[in-house]
Structure 1
Amino acid sequence: MSFMLVDVDTVRNNRGWFVMLGLAFMVLGLLAILLPFVASLATTIVIGWLMLIAGLIEGYHALRARAWVGAGWELVSAAVHVVAGGLVVAFPLTGKLALTAILAAYFAAEGVLKILRASQHRRVQASGWLVFDGLLSLALGILILMRWPSAAVWAIGLLVGVQLLVGGASMLLIGLSTRSEARV
């Protein structure tokens, strides 16, 4: 995987996919925010599936935009989503401790990966949103660990929803920002 700057033309040529990824993440995030009022087990399973689906969508996006320099890191990010979501779905009854640890690791890894991708997108006007998104994910991971083991399922669902919502907004804004940028 390369750490070169992103080619704005490649992002511009795949703008629709960035917008669709952003919208998908935002919808999944809103769903996750609304789920804390459902039973614990259902919430845990649905959050796991939301994470898994988000990872599959992100993986498809990375494969679809292979020419994009950031595709490799996005594929790693997709794998993090799928593994974390799969673990949550496979082990919903292991209690708050395991779920909290899985989600804290997920947020921390996602935060680091998004900060790395943000440095690749320095030329894209909305790249600051990726920095914000990465820092927020990292902060959410730390917040979960600080409240561990007492973090309730509703709090975890809310945090996942916020992270997906902001992640979707960053992808949406990157996709939309290339529409108005002049070719360099």
Structure 2
Amino acid sequence: MSSTSNPSAGAADEPLGSSLQSNWRPLLAAGVVVALLGLVATLAPFLTGLSIATLVGVLLIVGGVTQAIGAFRATGWRGFVWQIAVGAVTLLAGLAVFLNPVFGLLTLTLLVVGYLLASGVVEVAMGLRLRGERRSLWTVASGVIGIILALLLWAGFPSTALWAVGVMFGVNLLVTGLSMVGIALGARSLSEPVDTGVTPGVGGV
């Protein structure tokens, strides 16, 4: 009785692999563009931070208007007043950030400081709790670095607001773009034929 291989296992993995190998060029181009955007954002952090703050202001304005419209459409709802209040606060915050993006940039920097500090404390606590496990020291080190960055940003505030958000956003884009380029180049190497050194039709059995 001849043995047959299970085609379902290879078929499940084939579409993703073959698609990536045949479309590595668009992924490579997108990765290069994202990496270049990250580099530009890193080199011009203040303008990048202002752009992000302005975008946040626009999103808050849209969110406030949407909440108000939803409240007015829900006639007879007991939470109407609260919904209107939340929408008004969101709208005012969005207008404040949009009309004065430097203020929004200061607020975003404080949020970044709070995030780094909170995540750093959590990582240190988790690493100490899991001491003895593999890579627990890496978790503690990552948490300590986050806490140090938060303290440095806070110590230099508000001057750090001029570059912190833009630099972090740019570095994130740069790393993402480089990872996309790496994946595309890896897919390219898989799609290239392997030279076995055997001439077709010669040496076959």
User: What TM-score, normalized by structure 2, do the two folds share?
Assistant: 0.40
* Larger of the two Rg values belongs to structure: 2
